Amino acid sequence: MNLEWHWSVPYIETLELQLTRRREILEGRQECIIIAEHPPTITLGKRGGTVLSTPPNTATHHIHRGGLATWHGPGQLALYPIFNLQSRKIGIRNFVCAFEQSILNLLAEYGIEGRRDANPGIWVENKKIASLGLDVRKGINIHGAALNISNAPKAFSSIEACGDPTVEYTSVEIELGSFDALPPSSYSLIQIGRDWVRHFQKQISSG
């Protein structure tokens, strides 16, 4: 399986790459995981979503994934597994559960207690720390999850999250107080991304 990194790449370019990888996997190419950090972007899922305001220099895209509106930007990691669920014999619900558990295990490794909620995503107490939305076609997934690492929660004030204007956000950095609480090897977004991939692969393999 290939691991591809996209740093400060416009969201739409990474989406086009995901679509290309899905076509290639249908033709027999190896599965891959894309890890990305995007410039400021608002995306609206296939059910739409509400944009309250559009900050300067922020792109907006309507895309075909589950979920409503979300924000992507610097300090946030997005993990996009382009996996052939059909050949792996993994149901979509099991895939979602494994994905969510990988985030919970990653947070636990850093000393943060996350939880699932009736609303999608991963939460720390009553604040959202990760969003998740998939698009499975012909048995192959694109899109994935976005985890707030060091981005400011105020970035989400431009959208209505989960269809609820009262939703608040948090990040790994906020929950820890600072990154001084992390092991020295985990200071960088790259290392956090590697840790996340490790937990994700373990969940998929065990599932």
Please give the pLDDT value at position 62: 86
Strands (E), 32-139: 32-37, 41-44, 50-51, 59-62, 69-72, 76-82, 122-124, 127-137
Please give the pLDDT value at position 162: 63
Burial bucket for residue 111 (CB in 10 Å: 0-12, 13-18, 19+): exposed
Tell me how many domains the chain contains.
Answer: 1
Please give the pLDDT value at position 160: 79
Could you tell me the maximum CA-CA distance found in the chain, to the nearest angstrom? 47
Dist. CA 152–CA 3, nearest whole Å: 27
Listed as ranges, residues in the chain with pLDDT below 50 are: none
Query: Could you tell me the CATH number of the domain that includes residue 115?
Result: 3.30.930.10
Please give the pLDDT value at position 74: 92
Dist. CA 177–CA 36, nearest whole Å: 24
Q: Which residues are catalytically annotated?
A: 162
Count CA within 13 A, CB hemisphere, residue 66.
17
Dist. CA 191–CA 206, nearest whole Å: 23
Please give the pLDDT value at position 11: 94
Dist. CA 107–CA 103, nearest whole Å: 6
* Helix ranges restricted to H, the chain: 11-26, 85-88, 92-109, 172-176, 189-206
Rounded to the nearest angstrom, the gap between the alpha carbon of residue 113 and the centroid of all alpha carbons in its chain is 18
Bridge partner residues of 136 (DSSP): 141
Please give the pLDDT value at position 207: 59
Structural domain for 110, as ranges: 2-206
Using DSSP bridges, classify how beta strands 122-124 and 127-137 pair: parallel, antiparallel or unpaired. Answer: antiparallel
Dist. CA 37–CA 182, nearest whole Å: 20
